[in-house]
Amino acid sequence: MAQQSKITPRDKDYNQWYLDVIQQAELADHAPVKGCMVIRPNGYALWEGIQRVLDDMFKETGHVNAYFPLLIPEEFMKREAEHVEGFAPECAVVTHGGGSKLEEPLYIRPTSETIIWSMYKKWINSHRDLPLLINQWANVVRWEMRTRLFLRTTEFLWQEGHTAHATEEEAEAETRQMLEVYRRLAEDTLAIPVIQGYKTEREKFAGAKRTYTIEAMMQDHKALQAGTSHNLGQNFARAFDVTFQDEEGKQQLVWATSWGVSTRMIGALIMTHSDDRGLVLPPRIAARKVVVVPIMGKKGGADIRPEAQQLADELGLGRAVHVDDRPNVSPGQKFHQWEQRGVPIRIELGPRDVESGQAVVVRRDTGEKLFVARAELKEKVAQVLDDIQANLFARAKALREEHSFSIDDKETFLKKLEEPGGFLHAHWCGQTECEANIQKTTKATIRCIPLDAKEEKGVCPFCGGESKQRVIFAKAY
Amino acid sequence: MAQQSKITPRDKDYNQWYLDVIQQAELADHAPVKGCMVIRPNGYALWEGIQRVLDDMFKETGHVNAYFPLLIPEEFMKREAEHVEGFAPECAVVTHGGGSKLEEPLYIRPTSETIIWSMYKKWINSHRDLPLLINQWANVVRWEMRTRLFLRTTEFLWQEGHTAHATEEEAEAETRQMLEVYRRLAEDTLAIPVIQGYKTEREKFAGAKRTYTIEAMMQDHKALQAGTSHNLGQNFARAFDVTFQDEEGKQQLVWATSWGVSTRMIGALIMTHSDDRGLVLPPRIAARKVVVVPIMGKKGGADIRPEAQQLADELGLGRAVHVDDRPNVSPGQKFHQWEQRGVPIRIELGPRDVESGQAVVVRRDTGEKLFVARAELKEKVAQVLDDIQANLFARAKALREEHSFSIDDKETFLKKLEEPGGFLHAHWCGQTECEANIQKTTKATIRCIPLDAKEEKGVCPFCGGESKQRVIFAKAY
């Protein structure tokens, strides 16, 4: 019996499909306050997985966690000119506390550079205090006009690293190291292929000297910025007067970086792999990797639930295996539900399978059914999980390559941008004004200047200005 | 060479001692916004340890994590009468967002019952949706007048569990189960002995039917409430109209619990074990359990740093062992610093120790020095860590017992409360008015009615009213 799908197909309405996948998999819900989101247990489990992988990599690279306050004095926000211009307009402001009006309004952090550098001023005195390598897991609030679950919400969860260094070279090396950490999270764990590059002056972080980014392509061929790492130069050290005494006894301004990945990454994960039947998860991030569904025979037949439980135990995957032995729910309904939730492998076990010493292994990514002997099941499941992980990455990468175009003229640019859409590798004159015009007329932005871009002379297809390398244009989330 | 201690002795100024310990161990710092706190890496590592232990126990008992928004509509706060009365006066209020005045003010969550039950209304329809066992790790804001690092801060970190059940019995069992989880955290990991009990009507959570608590005694003999678990009855289900269809098809109001432990627990940890030389940490919560200090011999002697590193590796404790081989810092300074930071074991290794195949093991809790053969070192260190854990618990428990008094008359009550202070087990008439009077005249509150209190007839030493069991009075943080 076919199940009625509550998921709008991608080619009918991509945006509705995305929301339907989230709802059917119970990942998130709209909150009572406009633009805010409730992250439901299935969605939060993905965030916990991302946290675990990132936190381990942060610690391996010498970072420690700390926690800075939610509330920032208005005056702090104003210290760094670009920063206040970029962030103040989208802040939520606390004006009352404990029943009284506050003397100075407090901003809910949209990001924590200012509050953190006000503390670094206290903590950093000597070259012996450097480098200072701190990360924070926190919520931030940015008042967004157009919101979308996970991708853009008024409040979101993230980590923000804030480091202080004695030299410019060290700060640059740190910025690049953390970009690589983000690439590893995206590609190795989440199976999302990304392009590493840096942002134009117009697109960089407010207050940064240079912003590095990882950019991914979604299934509608739009770009999604999945993580950024900023070389802040000495901008925040100057704004907060943070200096250190170097080994020669001279006072020097400190060099800084900051870098962040947020719950937006879950949006990228959903949009990269899911299909018209619902969520698809790479095994490495799926909290539940295998679901075992015992299929009861005729009434009065043997109860195979204990056998299903034993099979699950034999897989040796702990809490990553779930036996769905709910009574009064048909196998079809169960299959449907676990598909919608993206569990990578379903194992079906009926009375005949028990008799013949086998089980049916069904892949979520391809729908393929494998009949596997019980003796080989553990090994086979491990192998199929690896295959799914690799397949999802390869599939996403193939899509990106299919929709990446080297473009040299305006007509083709405009045409490809609309249909089929994708990453347009084109020359650009380097002028902010031209970049702004292109966005205004085409809605495409420069996603990044790829780190591996070759030197190549050319001309900007819009203004005809000289260019020495291609950049990536795309419509973006 | 004796080091100049920057820590005020406890008997000179207990409150200053507490702040000095925090500062010297670099656990936390005052934030620019009054009453807020920065949790520094050494302090945050303690929170991470608490999170790990609690989160594992939550998951073992069937709970899942989720995340609900920071911002709560004013109207929600008003739905439950006792709740709004208890919390609204201490809320921070957001009145502006994105550059405009908001139509309705938003409260920063002081606790999340209201926002969570507004969502439970959407998610709970049938008995099949119950129980719903959700926990959230989050920050909350309560506008406090008198603040103290970790113990009472305007913003703090905590976990808050919020569960929904079909029956009153189940809700009560959940409330008690989570109290036991908190007891295990406090006693088994943090070596803080606690008394389990429940709060009087006057002291219970605003909106609860009954509040259970774990109460600990600090070294100044004051009580500290270290965790609470609330049976909320049907109060929030009623306020947010959350019903379910039971197995007979009838609509029923849902039963609720909530329970929380916060960064305040770190304050309890500091105050329970630390001494005039600084922080003392139970090994199970110490991120760094052992520090190895190589002591260089005369100039030109052998470099024993590689030997120190090898010794550290042999302990098999991974990142829990740290080798302090900083040049230009004397061994005395290193000893002093690691003592202040509470590392449970210091191992000293000098050239003569290397020659004679031994090392010097120094316990932070007792200062005892042990000369241990290298071949036995790993085993001995493991045993000493266990000993320290047990000793700290026993020491704290002995202090509590020494300062617990069974009191039957007002004179002795007043006298003991002042000197030496402690837990006064006394009868109480059960009247809220009398309880309020006692607090007004003595500053003592009823910390709890212990779960193991025996039935015992008596009279209230203040009003002479009849009583059927003793309760615990104390001055408290």
- Per domain, the residue ranges of chain A are 14-273, 290-384, 406-474
- Helical H segments across B316-405, by residue range: 331-340, 351-356, 377-402
Report DSSP state, residue B128. G
B460 CB contacts (<8 Å, ≥6 apart)?
B427, B428, B429, B431, B434, B466, B467
Residues B413, B426: contact at Cβ < 8 Å? yes
pLDDT, average across residues B81-94: 88
Helix (H) and strand (E) counts for chain A?
Answer: 14, 25
Residues A138, A67: contact at Cβ < 8 Å? yes
Amino acid at B142: R
CA distance B477 to chain A (A): 20
Q: Quick one: pLDDT at residue A263?
A: 98
CA geometry: angle B198, B199, B203, nearest 5 deg: 165
% chain B with pLDDT above 70: 99
Give, in words, the CATH class of B404-474. alpha beta
pLDDT, average across residues B237-255: 97
Q: Which of A301-310, A445-454, B107-116, B445-454 is the least confident region?
A: A301-310
Residues B110, B90: contact at Cβ < 8 Å? yes
Instruction: Let me know how long chain A is.
Output: 477
Q: Quick one: pLDDT at residue A2?
A: 44
Asked whether residue B189 carries a pLDDT value surpassing 70, the answer given is yes
Residue B85 pLDDT grade (very low, low, confident, very high; cuts 50, 70, 90): confident
Residues A407, A471: contact at Cβ < 8 Å? no
**Are A108 and B106 a contacting pair at CB < 8 A?**
no
Amino acid at A461: P
Amino acid at B103: E
Q: Could you give the ipTM of this predicted complex?
A: 0.96
Residues B453, B469: contact at Cβ < 8 Å? yes
Q: Quick one: pLDDT at residue B2?
A: 44
Q: How far is CA B221 from CA B238, B309, B401, B407, in A?
A: 41, 42, 11, 16
CA distance A26 to chain B (A): 10
**B14-273: which CATH architecture?**
2-Layer Sandwich (3.30)
pLDDT, average across residues A426-433: 97
In this predicted model, what pLDDT tens digit does every residue of B160-175 receive, in sequence order? 999 999 999 999 999 9
In this predicted model, what pLDDT tens digit does every residue of A345-389 receive, in sequence order? 999 999 999 999 999 999 999 999 999 999 999 999 999 999 999
In this predicted model, what pLDDT tens digit does every residue of B195-217 receive, in sequence order? 999 999 999 999 999 999 999 99
Cα distance between residue B440 and residue A35, in whole Å:
46
pLDDT, average across residues A305-324: 96
Burial class (CB in 10 A: 0-12, 13-18, 19+), A252: middle
Asked whether residue B4 carries a pLDDT value surpassing 70, the answer given is no
State whether CATH 3.40.50.800 applies to domain A290-384.
Answer: yes
Q: Do domains B14-273 and B290-387 have the same CATH topology?
A: no
**Are B48 and A65 a contacting pair at CB < 8 A?**
yes
What count of other Cβ atoms lies within 10 Å of the Cβ of residue A136?
Answer: 19
Cα distance between residue B53 and residue A47, in whole Å:
19
Report DSSP state, residue B367. -
Which candidate from A93, A106, A139 shows the least CB-CB separation from B139?
Answer: A139
Report DSSP state, residue A5. P
Cα distance between residue A243 and residue A79, in whole Å:
16
Give, in words, the CATH class of A406-474. alpha beta
Contacts of A34 in chain B (CB under 8 A): none
* Residue to substitute from B38, B79, B139, interface A, most A β-carbons within 10 A: B38
Contacts of A108 in chain B (CB under 8 A): 70, 94, 108
Tokens of B265: 């627990």
Q: Are strands A210-217 and A195-198 parallel, antiparallel or unpaired?
A: antiparallel
Contacts of A36 in chain B (CB under 8 A): 69-71
Contacts of B134 in chain A (CB under 8 A): 41
Amino acid at A255: W
Asked whether residue A79 carries a pLDDT value surpassing 90, the answer given is no
Cα distance between residue A49 and residue A319, in whole Å:
14
With the C-alpha atoms ordered A309, A310, A313, A315, is the resulting torsion angle positive or negative? negative
Report which of B313, B325, B311 is spatially closest to residue B374, judged by C-alpha positions.
B311
* Phi and psi torsions of B371, nearest 5°: -100, 115
Asked whether residue B5 carries a pLDDT value surpassing 80, the answer given is no
Q: Quick one: pLDDT at residue A5?
A: 67
**Are B115 and A31 a contacting pair at CB < 8 A?**
yes
**Are A64 and B72 a contacting pair at CB < 8 A?**
no
CA distance A304 to chain B (A): 23
Task: State whether residue A62 is helix, strand or coil.
Answer: coil
Q: Calculate the average pLDDT of chain B.
A: 96
Helix (H) and strand (E) counts for chain B?
Answer: 14, 25
Half-sphere exposure of A74 (CA within 13 A, CB side): 11
Q: Are strands A290-294 and A345-349 parallel, antiparallel or unpaired?
A: parallel
Determine which helix (DSSP H) or strand (DSSP E) holds A179, and give its type and residue range.
helix A168-184
CA distance A363 to chain B (A): 26
Half-sphere exposure of B68 (CA within 13 A, CB side): 25
% chain A with pLDDT above 70: 99
Tokens of B101: 């005045």
CATH topology assigned to domain B290-387: Rossmann fold (3.40.50)
* Phi and psi torsions of B224, nearest 5°: -135, 125
Tokens of A322: 């779930």
Q: Which residues in A62-122 belong to E strands, given as ranges? A: 64-65, 71-73, 92-97, 100-108
Task: State whether residue A127 is helix, strand or coil.
Answer: helix
